[in-house]
Amino acid sequence: GLPEVYADAPLFILQHPDKEPLKLAFGDPGIISLNSNGTRVIYRVNTECGSSGSPCFDRDWNAVALHHAGDPNFNPSHQPEYNEGIPLKAIVELLKARGKGEVLKG
């Protein structure tokens, strides 16, 4: 199975923000929480604009999520408080539920 995502775990994100060179963002602890139905992971690791879709890794470099969005408060005086990703486990479960599990083979 896929690695679990849990609060206070380290998180590493490899990003290509707006087609710039590859950058590593990390936090330890990085993960803040997982929502109640396991479809979103909230983390304090900062990413740059244009990094949506970047892979998120645990301490053992297992892919655990895809970066999805940043703090939705865009007020210029607001310091972003979190970022959000979609756990790979949720993506796999959705593909299976929609009868697309065959894309996971190979």
As beta bridge partners, residue 25 has: 13
For residue 83, which of 2, 12, 4, 3 has the smallest C-alpha distance?
A: 12
SS3 14: strand
- pLDDT tens-digit map of 27-38: 999 999 999 999
Give residue 31's pLDDT.
96
- pLDDT tens-digit map of 3-30: 889 999 999 999 988 888 999 999 999 9
CA angle (58 as vertex; 36, 22 as ends), nearest 5:
115
Q: Evaluate whether 27 touches 9 at the Cβ level (below 8 Å).
A: no
Radius of gyration over every alpha carbon of the chain, rounded to an integer in angstroms: 14
Does the structure show a pLDDT above 60 at 90?
yes
E strands, 1-106, are 11-15, 23-27, 31-34, 41-43, 55-57, 63-70, 83-87
The DSSP letter of residue 101 is G
